[in-house]
Amino acid sequence: MEDYFTLVTGSSSGIGKAISIECAKRGMNLLLVALPGEKLEEQAVDLELKYKVKTYYYHIDLTEKDAPKKVYDWTMENGYKINMLINNAGMGAEGPFERQSASYYNTMMRLNMIALVLLTRFFITDLKKLPKAYILNLGSISSYFPMPYKIVYAATKTFVLSFTMALREELRNTPVKVSITCPGPVFTNPRIIEEFRSKNRFVQLFYNDPPFVARYSIKALMKGKSVIRTDLLSKVLYLTEKILPQYFKQKIITRIYRKF
């Protein structure tokens, strides 16, 4: 039987690492892609030993010119056949818009949008030739509406939602199922974990841990669900977006994120 691989970007930590583990538990061979300096070799060996799956890795900065093409070429040169592409890599920022530099926002947009689109473009033709294939893009509850104090991040995730849903429709009559997962806040940054756990117990109720998000997302992806809402907050905010007037929604979101 021919070996297929799941390619996960941003796989060295957070949701990406949790997704890699979840896929390995399901017997999926893995291709791990992350920044240079991340301990991908150690992670690959660990997954192979624990779950008996083939695991290879590639260090690259996806914001660099031609990086998505280099990832695709790496898979072709090594004969890795991809049947699942998980575009997880991303970055964010919180606080007033002017807090971050123009170069920081440029990097964020290149990673969150351009790298995702180009990776999908390079792999899509090959995916369509398979009996069954999947694409999972990482969105957020911020995909639903504009978010002051997370302006650029939220805008990139809105782009990802629009792109995913349009691509899903284009590929409706093909073997490729396209999904987006839109979790609420996730405990991934050690500083954020410590801050919220020590100072705000109520907020903890709305936070997810990466293994839960990964497990829920992969299960829904395999079922072909379009928009995956992993938690109560994500579902409530989605309904809120549909029901409440834009002005009222914007006031609520602004107050929440100004406080945080």
The 3-state DSSP class for residue 130 equals coil
Question: How much is the pLDDT for 223?
Answer: 94
Per-residue pLDDT for 40 more than 70?
Answer: yes
Q: Which of 56, 149, 153, 207 is catalytic?
A: 153
Q: Kindly give, in sequence order, each residue whose CB lies less than 8 Å from that of residue 2, ignoring residues fewer than 6 positions away.
A: 81
Question: Do the Cβ atoms of 257 and 94 come closer than 8 Å?
Answer: yes
Please state the domain count of the chain: 1
Confidence of residue 37 (pLDDT cuts 50, 70, 90): confident
Query: Which CATH number fits the domain that encloses residue 157?
Result: 3.40.50.720
Per-residue pLDDT for 179 more than 80?
Answer: yes
Question: How much is the pLDDT for 7?
Answer: 98
**pTM (predicted TM-score):** 0.88
Tokens 């309904």 found at: 239
Q: Kindly give, in sequence order, each residue whose CB lies less than 8 Å from that of residue 60, ignoring residues fewer than 6 positions away.
A: 33, 35, 36, 67, 70, 71
Average pLDDT over residues 185-196: 60
Phi and psi of 111, rounded to 5°? -75, -50
Per-residue pLDDT for 1 more than 50?
Answer: no
Q: What is the DSSP string of 10-45?
A: TTTSHHHHHHHHHHHHTT-EEEEEE-TTS-HHHHHH
For the stretch 53-105, pLDDT in tens is: 999 999 999 999 999 999 999 999 999 999 999 999 999 888 889 999 999 99
Question: How much is the pLDDT for 190?
Answer: 59
Cβ neighbour number for residue 206 with a 10 Å cutoff: 16
How many Å separate Cα 122 from the centre of its chain?
18
Per-residue pLDDT for 197 more than 60?
Answer: no
Task: Pick 1 or 191 by higher pLDDT.
Answer: 191
Give the domain extent around 12.
Answer: 5-259
Confidence of residue 111 (pLDDT cuts 50, 70, 90): very high
Per-residue pLDDT for 34 more than 90?
Answer: yes
Confidence of residue 138 (pLDDT cuts 50, 70, 90): very high
Per-residue pLDDT for 195 more than 60?
Answer: no
Question: How much is the pLDDT for 222?
Answer: 95
Tell me the C-alpha distance between 230 and 219, whole Å: 11
For the stretch 209-254, pLDDT in tens is: 899 999 999 999 999 999 998 766 666 666 666 676 666 666 666 6
Annotated active-site residue 153? The verdict is yes
Question: How much is the pLDDT for 143?
Answer: 86
Averaged confidence pLDDT in the chain: 88
Question: Do the Cβ atoms of 33 and 8 come closer than 8 Å?
Answer: yes
**The two three-digit tokens of residue 177, written as one number:** 């199922």
The mean-pLDDT minimum among 6-10, 12-16, 249-253 falls in 249-253
Tell me the C-alpha distance between 25 and 222, whole Å: 14
